[in-house]
Amino acid sequence: MLNIEKIIDDVKKCKVIPENDVQELCFLAQELLIQESNIQLIDTPITICGDIHGQLHDLITLLKISRDPPHTKYLFLGDFVDRGFYSLETFLLLLCYKVRYPDRIYLIRGNHESRQITSVYGFYDECLRKYGSANVWRYCCDVFDYLALGAYIISSSGNREGVFCVHGGLSPLIDTIDEIRVIDRKQEVPHDGSMCDLLWSDPEENVPAWAVSPRGAGYLFGYTETQRFLYKNNLSLIARAHQLVMEGYKEVFDGGLVTVWSAPNYCYRCGNVAAVLTLDDSLNRQYTVFDTVLQLSDEIPSKKPVADYFL
């Protein structure tokens, strides 16, 4: 029987978890995630978290500030891995909480939860370095394929408008949330198409409708398309992550869209603060901003992370 509490404790101490335990944990997580829909229906109150990118100690700080599950219900908007030095521990900690408290923590897929991206930006190399083989990386990638594509948050107080949560943004191929529900998500992230757009697109205040993204995947979308999507889907807000925000969060388009970023001092050098967004029962927004607690000391390995792509 897998001892989840022990794994949580060991992961927080950066101890290497036995490969067999990682495999079993990933299998248990898959069994839960396969039952979830592409769009998770979640009621308030909820705390929404942006990119973590392998910054384990900052994730632990976040959980201390907002309280560990099950005391607080969480939605993480993807990009758990890559860039930081503790991608594996970060992802395993979140999986442990998911298995232990399946109705108190929700995980959706980011563009870095893919085989191709993690092969380049650190997670694959980290698993290889810690285990001497790619087996653990494969177990985790199999879990990535089952992560939901988004979430729809409803008010417990009867507020008729909802909040749509996604990692990246909108797609010109998608007009309604219901269209996302029928996507076959159980696959590697495609290079184009609606699933790709949801994970890769970005808002841009200087774009009237749609524009080609400089990322090479997804689109840039503007005020008009955001307001159209909000109206068609009876939404008060789109909450997303995917972009570094120096202040931790940024509202645009008359408050119709917010970017939440939860990795302080990104890549251990950007100097940004981080934030989480809590929605109460009436969908009122409260942002909690926090800074990194980790200094350049024995906690950080000497190996430098890949840091050439900041978009």
> Where do runs of H (alpha helix) occur along the chain?
4-12, 19-33, 56-66, 87-100, 115-120, 123-131, 135-144, 177-181, 194-200, 223-232
Q: Six-digit token pair at 50?
A: 């942006």
Q: Six-digit token pair at 54?
A: 């392998």
DSSP state of 305: P
- Pick the catalytic residue: 53, 57, 112, 167? 112
299 vs 56: CA distance, rounded Å: 11
Query: What are the C-alpha distances in Å from 90 to residues 57, 93, 256, 263, 297?
Result: 9, 5, 30, 12, 19
Q: Is 122 exposed, middle or buried (0-12, 13-18, 19+ CB in 10 A)?
A: buried
| The Cα angle at residue 238 between residues 168 and 285, in degrees rounded to 5 | 125
220 vs 174: CA distance, rounded Å: 14
Q: First vs last Cα of the chain: how many Å apart? A: 42
For the chain, the residue count is 311
| The Cα angle at residue 178 between residues 173 and 181, in degrees rounded to 5 | 90
Q: Six-digit token pair at 310?
A: 């900041």
112 catalytic residue (yes or no): yes
Task: Tell me which residues are annotated as active site.
Answer: 112
